A and B are shown apart, each in its own frame.
Chain A
């Protein structure tokens, strides 16, 4: 996955080398070298923690410009459900849909509608025999990538369904082709309005054998700014939402899980909580449950770094908005089957992220060296060397990515010894 296209980027001109992002990176993907942060592409899961924590705004998300819409004759907007939570005193989702039409989209297909189908398919999937439980949600691309990189044993627990945005994209494209037979398929542009960089990355990379149906991924913050200038709300909107409570609730942690109408569920949010739940599942130390929903961002997708509002305020707004909605507006086929085009045939194969070498004897030898170096390091995990902690630093030294003298404490001792041996003043060492 070293050729993975990432959407979390660094602006070196703004980076001060302060080590804050490095300390917050859950996969230890960041090092600070020569006063500037570097992201290891193989380890990065696009979670956005560094963007969230960088005080210098040196970390940013990459996404497509709204200008790109010009490439298509007919543009369909796919708003993530979290967008509805960004507006103060909004009482009808129809205003958002109307707003998207007013800023230039030709049609709107809500991802919340796709989400309701995913919920229905998940309920069907959970009834299947011989599946490995707990089934783990694959809606958050950060979590899926984290599992494939760090929890390979849990790969078979992954829900083999496309995420809501892809299901929505497939349906949106079908709808556009049917309603506008005069258009060629390549003239229809499907644009996802994303709350986070991870979903942008998902769209830009092939996932196993699957290539995203989405053409553009734009930032929720940018669309928000365009929307507030056109959303006058002076008369009732002419359009209304095509989704219900279930679809809208996918924006919040617990929404996906509670849509299964099953008590044997867990929902966790925040990347460190996600990791600890995964550790516990891998250890087998979890009560018998059917489904686990995991969201990398605090609060769920409303906590994405491209969303505007504080996730807790956003959550409150969604509660208000969903009050008079039907439970769900998705009607699945009577056959009770999951459509083939929504099933993930294969997940990307396990990439041994942190393997020291391909040969066990060599790995053992390297690990012994790491252990020996760790004993000589101060163990205070200060980060001044440019690695997030002393263990990671010891690994970097052994893998020839760092020099022991990068440790200021070890270097100080070295200088002391040097002065002691070569004519240092007696008063310095008492």
Chain B
């Protein structure tokens, strides 16, 4: 197998209305590669949740998608406030989203749990005050 394929996206923190667009592009790219629709859906949901998280909590960040012959790796990196208690953040329904975000229908506290649910591997590297990097893998 030749070198793996990489897509890079800058997720703009200031623009809430365009949040979620990178995951739409990823979905289109993966379907061009001919991946199984179920795999594409898992990647796009995990990516979408992560993308929204970065917009809500970290004023944006970057998303890198790497495709090789057996898995899709998603790396979401931001320079936001970091996650103080990762275990607590992983619980269903736990949310620190502000009210204005909740009023848009977000902030249900299902972002991180969904990302874990839809991927085969997930690792959170977070330092309070410095930022968070989440690495996820979906195997196929």
Instruction: Please determine whether chains A and B interact with each other in the same assembly.
Output: yes
Partner of A285, one of B1, B3, B20, B35: B20
- Please, how many angstroms separate the alpha-carbon atoms of A395 and B2 in the complex? 20
Chain B positions within 8 Å of A350 at CB level: 37
Do the beta carbons of A367 and B44 come within 8 Å of each other?
no
Q: Are B48 and A283 in contact (CB under 8 A)?
A: yes
- Contact of A282 (CB < 8 Å), options: B7, B44, B69, B114: B44
Does B40 count as interface, using CB distance less than 8 angstroms? yes
Total A-B Cβ pairs within 8 A: 66
Q: Is the interface of A mostly helix, strand, loop or mixed?
A: helix
Please name all residues of chain A whose beta carbon is closer than 8 Å to the beta carbon of B1 when the two chains form the complex. 361
Beta-carbon contact of A153 and B40 below 8 Å: yes
Q: Which of A265-291 contact B (CB under 8 A)?
A: 279, 282-285, 287
User: B26-34, B89-97, B122-130: which one contacts chain A?
Assistant: B26-34
Interface size on A, residues (CB 8 A): 25
Which single member of B5, B20, B28 contacts A364 (CB below 8 Å)? B5
Chain A hits for B20, CB < 8 A: 283, 285
Q: Contacts A153-B37, A153-B41, A283-B48 hold; do A352 and B2 have CB atoms under 8 A apart?
A: no
With A285-B48, A287-B105, A361-B1 as contacts: A367 and B32 at CB distance below 8 Å? yes
Residues of A within 8 A of B7 (CB): 371
User: Bound state CA distance, A344 and B45, in angstroms?
Assistant: 29
Residues on A with beta carbons closer than 8 Å to the beta carbon of B69: 360-361, 364
Closest B residue by C-beta to A354:
B32
Query: Inside 8 A of B27's CB, which chain A residues have their CB?
Result: 279, 282
A55 at the interface (CB under 8 A from B): no
- Taking CB atoms, residues of chain A closer than 8 Å to B132 are none
B24 neighbours in A (Cβ, 8 Å): 279, 283
Asked whether B4 is an interface residue with its Cβ less than 8 Å from the other chain, the reply is: yes
Cα distance, A283 to B52, chains bound together (Å): 12
Closest to B25 in A: A391
**Could you tell me which residues of chain B, from 27 to 60, have a CB within 8 Å of some CB in chain A?**
27-29, 31-35, 37-38, 40-41, 44-45, 48
Question: By the criterion CB–CB under 8 Å, are B23 and A358 in contact?
Answer: no
- For A363-396 the 0/1 string (1 means CB < 8 A from B) is 1110110010000000000000000000000010
Q: Which of B3, B4, B32 contacts A356 (CB 8 A)?
A: B32
Complex: chain A residue closest to B28, CB-CB: A354
Residues on the B chain within 8 Å of A358, using CB: 34
Within 112-160 of A, Cβ neighbours of B (below 8 Å) are at 150, 152-153
A357 and B35 alpha carbons, distance in the complex (Å): 11
Given A361-B1, A361-B69, A364-B67, the answer on whether A282 and B32 have CB atoms closer than 8 Å is no
Judge whether B44 and A352 touch: CB under 8 Å: no
CB distance from A303 to the nearest CB of B (A): 25
Residues of chain A lying within 8 A (CB to CB) of residue B3: 368
A355 at the B interface (CB under 8 A): yes
- A365 lies within 8 A of B33 (CB): no
Q: Report yes or no: A282 in contact with B41, Cβ–Cβ below 8 A.
A: yes
